[in-house]
Amino acid sequence: GQTVKLADYSETDFVFKDVFLTIRLFEGSAEIDSEIRIERRAGTAPDAPLVLDGDELTLTHLKLNGRAVAEADYDASADRLKVRNLPADDEFVLHVGTRIVPERNTKLMGLYRSNGIWCTQCEAEGFRRITYFYDRPDVLIPYKVRIEAPKDAAPVLLSNGNPGESGDLGDGRHYAVWDDPFKKPSYLFAIVAGDLERIGDSFTTASGTEVTLGIYTDKGKSHQAEYAMDALKRSMAWDERRFGREYDLDVFNIVAIADFNMGAMENKGLNVFNHKYVLLDPDTATDQDYAGVETVIAHEYFHNWTGNRITCRDWFQLCLKEGLTVFRDQEFTADERDRTVQRIGSVRRLKSMQFPEDQGPLQHPVRPGEYREINNFYTATVYDKGAELVRMIATLLGPEDFRKGMDLYFQRHDGDAATIEEFVKVFEDAASTDLSRFALWYHQAGTPTLTITEDYDASDDRYTLTLAQSLNQGAAKTGTEPMLLPVKFGLVGPNGEDRAVSASRGGDIRDDVIQLSEAEESFVFENVGGKPFLSVLRDFSAPVNLVHAQSEADRLALARLDPNPFNRWRTLNDLVGERLAKAGSQTGDQPTDPLGNELVGSIVETAGDDGLDPAFRAQVLNLPADMEIARLIGANVDPDRIHAAATSAREAIAAKGRSVFERLLNATPADARFSPDAASAGKRALANAALGYAAVGEGRPDRAFERIGNASNMTDRQAALAILVFRFPDHEMTQRALDIFYERYESEALVLDKWFALQGAAPGTATLDRIEVLYRHPRFTLKNPNRARSLIGSFAGMNPTAFNRADGRGYAWFRDRLLELDAINPQIAARMATAFRTWRMLEEERQRKIHDVLSGLANMPQLSKDLRDIVDRTLA
Ligand code: DPP
Ligand code: ZN
């Protein structure tokens, strides 16, 4: 494939003015007529041809100002339309006809059918699978759309913008027209046509406009969309309160679709969602699912301003909308739920998904400089690290200047296709500050290391803090210059108070934030009132690897005392991570108590502290994932040893905390009435964590088995099933529980995904044999992305012991599935193949086996561009 480079950006030769699309839907085909008003851009050569993008298209007709274009004046191939001899000065109308077969579109990009519903996915380059177009984000025009379809199969006809006329066409067909007054790029285009059910509501904006809200689902499912509607209204109100952003059309529609590559898509006025992020009820969805729906609904809604009103100039700027919108949805969740628990969740995600990517062969800067396949850049780096960069700007500037910068961004760039440089500039202008050292974060890949050293001079009561940053060059081969980063800190006294101190010497500190910009900086504090405990990198104020030689006694004291609750969690979590990494990297006998008595005691004490938020305590009991431990070890990793170390750690916590866990279990009756609010969810999370430890501690799977029987909601039921699957994978009770669960939920697609996913992630060598059987299960299919991900994705991405079986069978099985999937849906295959992104950390024998698998794949001529790109980069 061809490499696209940021440096090669240039404007289009022609300017599009507007487009009128007529889409005729039939059983077995669709016909698209596109009328584009065009003019040659000033400066374009008078004989330059118009070159439009296509992908697997068939041209049916081509007219210029109403007349057929002569054959000599155009070339049409499946992926390109080139028209010559166009007017040099006058505006003209190009009329392009294409025919496609949505039923055969298994890539789920462009126009396709899901459960009989016609729907579209155009980001990033799906519009070119519908018609020839300038399919790039800097071509912004108004769209008018007329959909014609059979009335029985598609009584509902939707597109972007506001509804216009509709009517009958005879022959059992009808039509509807939609008009979107806002200029938009092609990736935000959407239509949906189908036999759908709707729930409706309305929202009155701050300036008094009433917006009609609709959520459309498959027949019989609309009652499961109530919570999504509630989340939507809360998102609309929050964006007005927090960022002064109001909605701008008369209608806002959401459609839930079963077969969907992404989580959801922010098409203007018509968000199309993977039904996983819309449909919920207590019997089928967990608290985590509720939180996921809330977040994704908010995220897509927030895109209306950060993504749609202001879009990206080119796909290199993807983080402009995604990093910013993730930051916005994180802030929404923090305000709606709990700030500390929210932050713990996003830091866990960052460390387990983004850090490994940033430290391995798929490394790329938040704003990449080149790509071969843009679909492969919807990554943790662009999204999650991208959000961290926005968060750092907010921390460096403080809330007022940050809001001023955001206001300026909306004011200056509304209606633009913007760049990262323009984004950074608004904050420089709003705060009258120089962010050039900060902007390096967008261009330099890799996770910097932040090294902290402290010195306390008791005779002068003087405390010196030294911070050093460094960045190694990785696979992306980008720069390693020192960057500007915020380090939030406190000097904590023995009673848990932050001492009011200010530095007498050193660089820039604003309130409790060190604005570190040099490779090394020292700060001197006089008269600190005795040796303090340093609480540093509070709230994970910068996405770095922290190296801080602090005594265990100080750390355990901070775990109790720190006024910053996030850091209380992080202290314990880091200690556990370090201990498990040490135990998991040793050869010879496993230590029976890898955490040590004091740390275990501290964890149990925190878990039992009723003065703390239950959700927080549940997070403390949730040990770092095996893959996070692998990353900490970094080289010569044996996943079985890590798993064994984590298992011993859990047993030690279970043994020490026995009475605490019993108490927590008894305090929360299983039949309490279900409410999805954060406080109730936190209580359930703590009770279920306690159940896990209780079952492990006593070696009693029956305790979890019992819970499955008497649980009144999916959160408790799934948690109990997960305890069986993860802690007792080979017990006969586990199989029985899985069978009972299956019988109950056989016809609930989203619950069945959980059932497959749990089994795909079950640890141990017996797992692969079971997965091979499940793969042939009548309910398994590769055509539905959620189902494919549920079994194969969870096996490759969340099951380090079974996937990395020493005999290499896990890799071989996975390779065969990738090839099958690649022939159906390359985007999903490529995404799953990133499971190999950390392969060089493994011990040699496993590396050799993976190398054979990857090079075998690389030699296969039939690989899609998507999968080939991932395979080549992983091998490089
Ligand atoms: N729909 C995806 C998201 O919102 C891509 N834009 O992140
Ligand atoms: Zn997004």
Residue 211 pLDDT class (50, 70, 90 cuts): very high
DSSP labels, 479-494: ------EEEEEEEE-T
300 catalytically annotated: yes
* Ligand 1 atom nearest to CA at 321: 6
Q: Ligand 1: does its nearest atom lie under 6 Å from the Cβ of 264? A: yes
Residue of 123, 305, 374 with the most ligand 1 atoms within 8 Å of its CB, for mutation: 123
Residue in 300, 322, 336, 521 annotated catalytic: 300
**Domains of the chain with bracketed CATH:** 1-195 (2.60.40.1730), 450-533 (2.60.40.1840), 746-876 (1.25.50.10)
Res 116: pLDDT: 98
Using 50, 70 and 90 to split pLDDT, how confident is the model at 670? low
pLDDT per residue over 21-71, tens digit each?
Answer: 999 999 999 999 999 999 999 999 999 999 999 999 999 999 999 999 999
Q: Is the CB of 265 under 6 A from ligand 1?
A: yes
Out of 262, 276, 324, give the residue to mutate to test ligand 1, the one with the largest number of ligand atoms within 8 Å of its CB.
Answer: 262
By DSSP bridging, strand 545-548 and strand 462-470 are unpaired
Please give the backbone phi and psi of residue 346, each rounded to the nearest 5 degrees, phi first.
-75, -30
Q: Which of 351, 402, 409 is nearest to 381 (CA)?
A: 351
Is 452 a pocket residue for ligand 1 (Cβ < 6 Å)? no
The mean pLDDT value of the chain amounts to 97
Exposure pattern of 421-454 as b/e (b: 16+ CB <10 Å)? Answer: ebbbbbbbebbeeebebbbbbbbbbbbbebbbeb
Q: Which atom of ligand 1 is nearest to the CA of 326?
A: 7
Ligand 1 centroid to Cα of residue 825, in Å, is: 18
What is the number of the ligand 1 atom nearest to the C-alpha of 264? 1
329 lines ligand 1 (CB under 6 A): no
The residue-averaged pLDDT of 287-294 equals 98
Which residues face 715 on adjacent strands?
none
Ligand 1 pocket test: pick from 261, 303, 315, 320 the residue with the most ligand atoms within 8 Å of its Cβ.
303
Index of the ligand 1 atom closest to the CA of residue 300: 4
Q: What angle do CA 208, 214, 215 make, to 5 degrees?
A: 140
Of all protein residues, whose CA lies closest to atom 6 belonging to ligand 1? 265
What pLDDT, in 10s, does the model give residues 468-521?
999 999 999 999 999 999 999 999 999 999 998 888 888 999 999 999 999 999
How far apart are the CA of 106 and the centre of ligand 1, in A?
Answer: 20
Q: What is the distance between the terminal CA atoms of the chain, rounded to a whole angstrom?
A: 16
How much is the ipTM here? 0.98
- Which residue is closest in CA terms to ligand 1's atom 7? 322
Q: What is the pLDDT of residues 518-550, one digit of tens each?
A: 999 999 999 999 999 999 999 999 999 999 999
Residue nearest to atom 2 of ligand 1 (CA): 265
Q: Which ligand is nearest to the CA of 277?
A: 1
Q: What is the mean pLDDT of residues 245-264?
A: 98
Q: Does the beta carbon of 574 lie inside 6 Å of ligand 1?
A: no
Residue 652 has pLDDT above 90, yes or no: yes
Query: What SS3 class is residue 799?
Result: coil
Identify whether the C-beta of residue 138 lies closer than 8 Å to the C-beta of residue 120: no
Ligand nearest to the backbone CA of 267: 1
CA-proximal residue: ligand 1, atom 5 (nearest): 265
* Distance between CA atoms of residues 100 and 28, nearest Å: 9
Side-chain half-sphere exposure of 15, counting CA atoms within 13 A: 11
| 266 pocket-lining for ligand 1 (C-beta < 6 Å) | yes
